[in-house]
Homo-oligomer: A and B are copies of this chain.
């Protein structure tokens, strides 16, 4: 009976458990290792963060940077810009840290139950999915348990349903979403969370996703876990306060991080996917020749003109 029920679930879900072949044409195997691909990417394949889509969080451990994704949540991103410009995250804090799940923070007003100023929305309609037409989607080749198609849109991991004509940001490590109550329209971006563990993909299409931490995840992922329900810190003494939260465009140039991101619509990114799925390094005795969406890392670098290198 037990096996019967799971087997029926498998059939009805059009299970993806196709037997894999260890053999595949050499033409689609990687010819270079990932490090070599990144090091040899052309300058035009890297893009500089747009300061209007960049939020700097100064944390006790150091700087974390969110790249915003207006293509997935235009209204919420606009609200984040207004919240940051109004200094509403200054005085707010991280109040939740749940192991293998999320770290979450709020503005001071939200925590105190105060109304935000008139020009900032206190609730916005859900932006769980967007029309996929026109999005520069780079698919990954090995399928996905949760989405009909999986890939990248301007650096953001995404699912796509061509039949329904929609796409959404996927809950991979480092992705930032809008916390809400049971009402799908109850979020405003005054409470945000970031994924710090294995990808909780069951949340996909249930929350508005606004961006991704592109550097400094370690300052969030190592925070002490909260011992209250859902990993909430049980007293305000435990809150982790921001020193400062600013839009990149509001910082003087010398205070910005000169971060560049490998374009996910570039030839080198595609080479990187192939290199990551078929490891050439001596260490590997079994190159999986497969890769999952949240296992693809999007490289960043500080350009050489700024004294940096790929990281």
Contacts and interface: CB of A to CB of B under 8 A. Distances in A.
Given A14-B18, A18-B148, A270 B5 contact: yes
Question: What is the count of identical protomers in the complex?
Answer: 2
Nearest to A25: B12
Contacts of A224: 218, 222
A276 interface: yes
Contact of A16 (B3, B142, B223): B142
Contact of A222 (B126, B163, B225): B225
Contacts of A200: 295
Given A6-B139, A13-B141, A290-B145, A198 B197 contact: yes
B2 A267 contact: yes
A209 to B, nearest CB: 13
Contacts of A173: 100, 197-198
Given A148-B19, A273-B6, A206 B284 contact: yes
B139 A295 contact: no
A275 to B, nearest CB: 11
Contacts of A284: 202, 206
A303 interface: no
A143 B15 contact: yes
Interface string A141-184: 11111111110000000000111000000001110000000101
A245 interface: no
A111 B166 CA distance: 53
Contacts of A162: 19
Interface in A244-293: 267, 270, 273-274, 276-277, 279, 282-292
Contact of A148 (B17, B138, B139, B145): B17
Nearest to A21: B14
A204 interface: yes
A115 interface: no
A282 B7 CA distance: 27
A145 B13 contact: no
A286 B223 contact: no
Given A2-B267, A142-B145, A145-B290, A283 B172 contact: no
Contacts of A145: 16, 142-145, 290-292
A206 B285 contact: yes
A202 B288 contact: yes
A86 to B, nearest CB: 29
A128 interface: yes
A108 interface: no
A118 interface: no
Contact of A294 (B139, B182, B198): B198
Nearest to A297: B100
Interface of A: 2-3, 5-10, 12-21, 24-25, 27-28, 99-100, 126, 128, 138-150, 161-163, 172-174, 182, 184, 197-202, 204-206, 217-218, 221-225, 267, 270, 273-274, 276-277, 279, 282-292, 294-295
